[in-house]
Amino acid sequence: MAKSKAPPRPRTSPAPTTPVAERRRAEEALRESEARWRSLVESAPDIIGSGAPDGTIWFINQGVRGIPPEELVGTSIYDLIDQEYRDTVRKGLEHTFRTGQKANAEFSWVKRDGTTCWCVARVGPIERDGQTVGLTVILSDITERKCAEEALRESEARLRSTLDGMLEGCQIIGFDWRYLYVNDAVARHGRKTKEELLGHTMMEVYPGIDDTELFGYLRRCMEERIPHRMENEFTYPDGVKAWFVLSIQPVTDGIFILSLDVTERKRAEEALRESEERFRLLAEHAQDVIFRCRLVEPVGYEYMSPAVAAVTGYPPEQFYADPDFTFKIVHPDDRETFERMLGERRTGPVVLRWICRDGSTIWVEQRNTFVYDESGNLVAIEGVARDITKRRRAEEALRQAREELEGRVERQMLHRNPYSLTFREFTVLHLVAAGRADKEIACELGISPLTVHKHVGNILGKMSASCRTEAGVRALREGLLD
């Protein structure tokens, strides 16, 4: 069953408005708007006010320096500002009033508790009928920002002072390759003044630098932000060379270069290399065996001169391969002496016998230098071993000749000694008769030439001989010598 439609409702016409009702609604809307804006202004964290161009305060939303807002109305804003900033604020207010343009100014004041408060004032015009009749001022507290800026300035000053006093060179190069910062060391390293560097490009200061290997690393750090560390040789215009260790790091402004002058170290290293080369040449052409053996891990010979091959028949490589090889070639009867030499750290000379590669035995005289580290620990032994085989054989022959001579003298003294000559004088007389000079006699008997001279004088006195030739001839003629 179909529902019947409800009859249409009659249209009602809006109630007619009157001027009084419209004014009331407008006033209500204005009050609500003023209430909203007043609530917004009064709850704002910033100080908001308005006033005359001469600085007289018409309205302010909160108290300043402990003075409530109602007491500030009618006073001058300049009374709230420190003396040194009043002209700055006055110029800002006058500029806005005169041009209608907004202006900003920073200033400070001292609170009642003695602390300083920093503000930035943003000034705007109040216009009526196209004319500026007043000013609005919004004050924002920037004390924290100012403190942070001051702390940053102090930190930068301390940092700059530290960098300026460093021995290392510190420089910042901008992305346009201009020197943004250099300390005294950089100027000294480059033989330039700071004024010759700051604000100028590297290419202006050092023409041709962009063609060097160094600049390639600088460019890579600048463009790819890849740090690099290197040693760089720098040649001054007068031809003098200097060496620097450079640490190149990317920074916000470009690149930072830390440079350390190592010229003295490089010169010392070069002098050491030259000295070592001279020593090596001397060692490699010396007939003596020169060596250095490391006694801490890894134990082994660090150097063995080529002379060891001529002396022993074993090449230096044999000793490098076996740290104990020297002990192995020491004669078995002398190994105890060898071990005592090392144990007692004897510098020498120590005489030992070595067994050569061909099985022969030689005599060596070894002198040692024991090397210690900074803590006093023995770390190495350096030494020289000299082949004294010929000398030992000569000494042995001389000893045998001396013994033979002394034997003849003893027999002659038992047979006949009319001049009461001593044993030594008889021995010297034998050699005088053989035509030997004082130095030769001294060498053969192992005494000094002066002692020989005294013995000859005694012989001449006892035999009443005028010279040594007469004494020798008479000794043979009289049968004193066989």
Name the region of 347 (left: φ>0; alpha: ψ -120 to 50; beta: rest).
alpha
| Span 366-393, pLDDT tens digits | 999 999 999 999 999 999 999 999 998 8
Question: Which structural domain, as residue segments, surrounds residue 45?
Answer: 36-146
| Span 169-211, pLDDT tens digits | 999 999 999 999 999 999 999 999 999 999 999 999 999 999 9
Residue 81 pLDDT: 82
Query: Residue 66 sits in a domain of what CATH number?
Result: 3.30.450.20
Average pLDDT, the chain: 86
Looking at the fold, whether 106 and 170 belong to one and the same domain comes out as: no
Residue 3 pLDDT: 47
Looking at the fold, whether 244 and 304 belong to one and the same domain comes out as: no
Looking at the fold, whether 99 and 56 belong to one and the same domain comes out as: yes
175 inside domain: yes
Q: What stretches of 375-448 show up as alpha helix (H) in DSSP?
A: 389-415, 423-433, 438-445
Q: Number of structural domains, the chain?
A: 4
Looking at the fold, whether 102 and 71 belong to one and the same domain comes out as: yes
195 inside domain: yes
Looking at the fold, whether 132 and 55 belong to one and the same domain comes out as: yes
Looking at the fold, whether 50 and 104 belong to one and the same domain comes out as: yes
369 inside domain: yes
396 inside domain: no
Is pLDDT at 94 greater than 60 in this prediction?
yes
3 inside domain: no
Looking at the fold, whether 58 and 139 belong to one and the same domain comes out as: yes
Looking at the fold, whether 133 and 169 belong to one and the same domain comes out as: no
Query: Residue 444 sits in a domain of what CATH number?
Result: 1.10.10.10
Select from 265, 298, 323 the last residue of a domain: 265
160 inside domain: no
Select from 146, 175, 202 the last residue of a domain: 146
Select from 118, 146, 174 the last residue of a domain: 146
Take residue 432 and report the two structure tokens written for it. Answer: 């005088």
320 inside domain: yes
272 inside domain: no
| Span 141-159, pLDDT tens digits | 888 888 888 888 887 777 7
Query: 344, exposed or middle or buried, with CB in 10 Å at 0-12, 13-18, 19+?
Result: exposed
CB 480 within 8 A of CB 416: yes
